[in-house]
Each structure stands twice: as C-alpha cells, then as structure tokens.
Chain A
Amino acid sequence: MDFVTNCAADVADQFWAQTRNGLTLGSIYAMIALGYTMVYGVLQLINFAHSEVFMVSTVAALYAIPFFGVTEGDPATGLSAVLIFIAVLVCCMLASGLVALLLERLAYRPLRKRGAPRLSFLISAIGASLFIQYLFVLMDGEHYLFPIRGIADPLGMPLMIIGLALAVVAGGLLLAGVRRGEAGWVDAGTLTGFGGLAALIAGLVFVVKLPDILGPTPQSVPELFATSTVFTLLGTPISNKRLLVVVVTVIMLVILDNFVRKTRMGRGIRAVAQDPQAASLMGVNINRVIVVTFLVGGLMAGAAGLLYQTVLSAPAFWFIGFRPGIKAFVAAVLGGIGNIRGAILGGLLLGLVEAYAVPCIGTQWIDVTAFVVLVIVLLFRPTGILGEQAGG
C-alpha cells in the first residue's frame, strides 16, 4: 500500500514536468509509429526493420552536423542554429527515406512479386534489420565505416570491404535467384534469403569485431545548439529543445494529414489500405503507392531520429533504434495498427504512461511499462483504441 500512496504522491508532485516529458517523447514515438502503421495499412506487414530506418537518422546527424560547421563544444546560435537545424533535418530525413526505399526494393518487393507467404516477410524484415544494424557496428569503436572520419584501426577498411563484398555477392545471388522465377532452389533461396544473408554477415562481423560489440563506443553527436528555457508553463520550465520537438511534430503531422487527405497520391494510399483490388480498378498504381508509403514512413522516422537525438543527447549508435522502435510499434498497436490517427494517439499515450511511471519505478525499469501496455492491449482490446481501420 505504501508503494501506491508514495507513487501517487510522487506523480502528483512531478505531474506537469512528467506531462511535458511524456508529450515530447510521445511525439517522437508517434512519428515513428506512423511508419509502422502506414506500411501495415498498405501491405499488412510489420516492417520490423523500421527501427533501423530511425537509427540511420542519428548516424546521418553525426556526419551532417560537423559538415555544416558545428563541432563538439561549439554549438550554433541564433539564426544560424535554425538554418543549420533545418539543413541537418533534411539530411536525416533523406538518409532515413533512402534506407526505407532500399528496404522496400530489396527486402520486400522480391517477395511480394512472387506471392511469398507472410512468414517470409517477417524473416526478411528481421534479417534486413540485423543486416543494417551490423553494417553500422562497423563504425563503432575504432573502426569507422566511412573514411571521412579517418581510420584509426588498420583493420577497419579491409573489414568493411570484405563485409560489403560479401553482402554484394550474397545479395546478387539472391536477386539473380529471384529473377530466375519458378526454379525450385530459388524458393528456398527466397525464404531463407535475407535471413540467411544477414545471419552470415552478422556472424562474421560478430566474430571479428567481438571486442567492439562487447564494449561498443557510441559516437556522441555534437550538440547543435545549447539548451535554454524558453518559458515556464504551470510551474514547469519548457526548454527550446522540447519546444522544437513539439513544433516539428505538429508541422510534420499537419503536412502528413493534408498529404493523405487532400492529394491524389494520399487518396491512393488510403484506397489501397481499404481495398487494394478496388484501388487498382480506379487506376491506382499499387507499386507506386507502396514505394511512397515507405518513403513517407522513412522521412518521418528520419525527423524523429534527429529530434530524439537532440532532446535526449542520444549518441549515434547501431542499437539506438531498438528501444524507440519497439515502443513506436507498441504505440501503433495501442492506437490500432493501420490507423493513422491511432498511431498519433498511441504514441502520445505511451509517452505519457511512461513518463508518469518514472517517479514510481525509476528510469531503469521504464521499458517494462511499454510491454505491460502491449500485453494489456492485446488481452483486452487487440484491435487497439481506435480499431484497425486501415486508411481511415
């Protein structure tokens, strides 16, 4: 009983501060959740590699921020901070968008073309996710993937070349196999394709890079601009960074809403989500809709990645996508998978639930709340709060 009363008192004490924290993090979850939910809407597929689409954004920030002249300990100020932020945001969004497009093209489309069973998509998703993660493991510690940051370790470059060559050979074999059509060995190849490929490369990287993986050094991203309090609301200071998260999220959501509701392509996306066959009878090019959906999800995840990095001072790190990714997935299920408004609602709710749980269970245990929420949703309302209304 003590726990409950203490907990209630703590939450009451920190209520507005935690509401603020919950809404900031929740906005970010919502933006990532949109990618899961929109792809699910058009393909009935959970893109489990979406967390890596997010992760790539933090890596893009690692390179883009110094590129625009901001270095560690020397943040930008005033108008130049705003302009640089926008430029970095564009870079992050493009990087994530590109990865999302590649995923669609390489991990899912070959399966879709051949009418592969659901399970193959799941295997491919997990394989692609591991593949991207371990590709970025190569830039942990001393081994940088991209030579522009210098190669401290003599092994870095050869490793990278071997890894990439392997990936290209295996990927080429796979694609050649998929092209060949009906041949028997191809079916097996497709099924195990990306899973096997990823496992192979991941395994290789793992063995050679074990020391790094056991003690990886996340790359800290230079702070783009310094934190300051903009105003105080209900006794709670609101920082420029948190304000930025909310402003960017609102802008992105307004653009997305108009895109989905008012534009021709947006109507196509909704139509495919509601009835793909009827949509193609109306003249909707389903392939193009799928590509655009992945792109939009990627752009949103890219923006979310930079915001997450900014507000939490998160490092660029191969594993950084896992937690926000899985939580955004929970948020999408919570709101009703496939449902765009559901993803936004679910993201904000999950952010708040987590924030209110902090005073009670502490930050180390906070991840548990998301999974508890997931279990509760699946038990009592498996279709989510707003229901699975794809394209609604």
Chain B
Amino acid sequence: MSGDVLLELKDVVVRYGGIEAVRGVSFVVRSGELVTLIGGNGAGKTTTLSTVSGIKRPYAGEISFLGERIDNLPAHEIVELGISQSPEGRRIFPRMSVRENLVMGTFARGKKKTDIDRVFELFPVLKERHKQAGGTLSGGEQQMLAMGRALMADPKLLMLDEPSMGLAPKFVARIFELLEEVHAQGITILLVEQNAHLALQIADRGYVLESGEIVLADDAKKLLGNEAVRKAYLGED
C-alpha cells in the first residue's frame, strides 16, 4: 500500500540557542502511509514538525519533500507544496467564525474551489456551529476544527501534533476514528502522539523519539508488542 517517498528527513539537527532539541533525526514517510512519531514530554516531536513546516530552521541536515529540498523554504511556500499541519494547541483563529477558519485552510491553494462540504461531512458538529467564533468552541470541537482546517488545504501530507491532548476519552476515540477515515480516503498522515497505544493501533509504522533521537523504528504492530515500548510508553511493567 505504500508508494514513493513523500517526506524524508536526513540527520536533522535543530537547536534552540545552544540547546539541541533534535539531534540527528532521520526518517521517511511514504505516500499513502500513516506514520506515527511517539515520545514523552520534551522528546522533540513538536520541534520536528515545526522544522518540517518551516516555522523553525534546522541547524544541520536535510529535509526533502517529493525529492526536493525544502529545509530552506519559508513556511508559506512549504504549505503551497502540499504539507499542512494541525498544530500543537490547535491554534484556531479565535475571532474568526468556524467557516472562516476553514476557509483559511485553503489560503495556500489560491483560487481553487473550496471543498467545505467534505469537511462538514466528516465533522457534522462544525456544520452546526459554522457561524460561531472559533475561540468559543470546546476543546474537542476546536481539535476537529484544526483537523478540518488542515484538510481544507487538500494536502499531500497531513501532519497532526497530539490531536488527543486534553480531550476526554470519548472525544479521543472519536478523533482517532476520524483519523482512520481520513487515512482511508488516501491522505498520507504523520501523527505525533504521546498516546502511543492509540497511535500505534491505527498507524502503519512508528518511530520512537527520545531526547531528540530516534531510538526505535518499526511496523506499528511490532512496536505495540515491543517490550521496551510497552514499558516506557504503554504504562505496563
């Protein structure tokens, strides 16, 4: 099911001042895959995503998308190539309506017709609340809006940063169902999660990030069975 290499990171190093948050990370995401990047607090997951999307510059290493180097492009040009992100903390535009937030998702596509109905079909609650200001939505609704907004870009690669953060278990289950649905529609996904159990259950492959380094890489099912992963991330002794 997995096709060509879509995204590739080679020995990427990212620094904040003198501190190395990401220390030589390499991985690939192939077209059609759902890849998850798991790891504890401060492991460098968000930093890795921000570097891919151009918000942060790598100190060393290479990032390429569809075979082209993107690590020196500004963020807005990277979006135009087809990488969209549902960022950590959702970052909904608080004083724009739900609909306006979704329309913002199409910004990089220029004049192409917006496909808002598809998103409303996935998230009916957004349709009900399309006039409401983004800032007044509940956390779960905001998460759906962040996902919907990222989908509006019609991305080749969808990156999600901890979509389960701060949500009740019922909501988390719903979000993951929706993720599988989106994936089934053929969209390539890079999912960052602390909730390793859920992430590995729906992913094809997984990478485990620890203190800025990838310590394990394998098929998701194998990682689920891995002794070290079970101990460190799945809360088993």
Binding site for B on A (CB under 8 A): 264, 267-268, 270-271, 274-275, 277-286, 389, 391-392
Given A281-B91, A283-B107, 9 more pairs with CB closer than 8 A: A264-B110, A267-B100, A271-B93, A271-B107, A278-B87, A281-B79, A281-B84, A282-B107, A282-B149
Binding site for A on B (CB under 8 A): 53-55, 74-76, 79-80, 84-85, 87, 91-96, 100, 103-105, 107-110, 149, 153
Taking the closest CB of chain A, its distance from the CB of B112, in whole angstroms, is 12
Taking the closest CB of chain A, its distance from the CB of B55, in whole angstroms, is 6
Q: When A and B form their complex, what is the total count of cross-chain residue pairs whose Cβ atoms lie within 8 Å?
A: 67
Taking the closest CB of chain A, its distance from the CB of B99, in whole angstroms, is 12
Taking the closest CB of chain B, its distance from the CB of A288, in whole angstroms, is 9
Q: Is the CB of B107 within 8 A of A268?
A: yes
Q: Is the CB of A283 within 8 A of B93?
A: no
Q: Which residues from B are CB-within-8-Å of A277?
A: 55, 87, 91
Partner of B96, one of A270, A283, A286: A270
A392–B93 Cα distance when bound, in Å, is 10
Partner of A283, one of B55, B76, B92, B95: B76
A71–B66 Cα distance when bound, in Å, is 65
Q: Is the CB of A278 within 8 A of B153?
A: no
Q: Which 3 A-B pairs have CB atoms at the shortest separation, nearest pair first?
A: A283-B108, A283-B79, A278-B91
Partner of B95, one of A264, A274, A284: A274
Of all chain B residues, the one with the shortest Cβ separation from A268 is B107
Task: Please list 29 pairs of residues, one from A and one from B, whose beta carbons are closer than 8 Å in the complex, sorted by A's number.
Answer: A264-B110, A267-B103, A267-B104, A267-B107, A268-B107, A270-B95, A271-B93, A271-B107, A274-B94, A275-B91, A275-B93, A275-B94, A278-B87, A278-B91, A280-B54, A280-B74, A280-B76, A281-B75, A281-B79, A281-B84, A281-B91, A282-B79, A282-B149, A282-B153, A283-B75, A283-B80, A391-B93, A391-B95, A392-B95
Q: Is the CB of A389 within 8 A of B95?
A: yes
Taking the closest CB of chain B, its distance from the CB of A278, in whole angstroms, is 4
In the complex with contacts A275-B91, A391-B95, A280-B75 CB distance below 8 A: yes
A282–B91 Cα distance when bound, in Å, is 11
Q: Which residues from A are CB-within-8-Å of B79?
A: 280-283
Taking the closest CB of chain A, its distance from the CB of B228, in whole angstroms, is 34
Taking the closest CB of chain A, its distance from the CB of B108, in whole angstroms, is 3
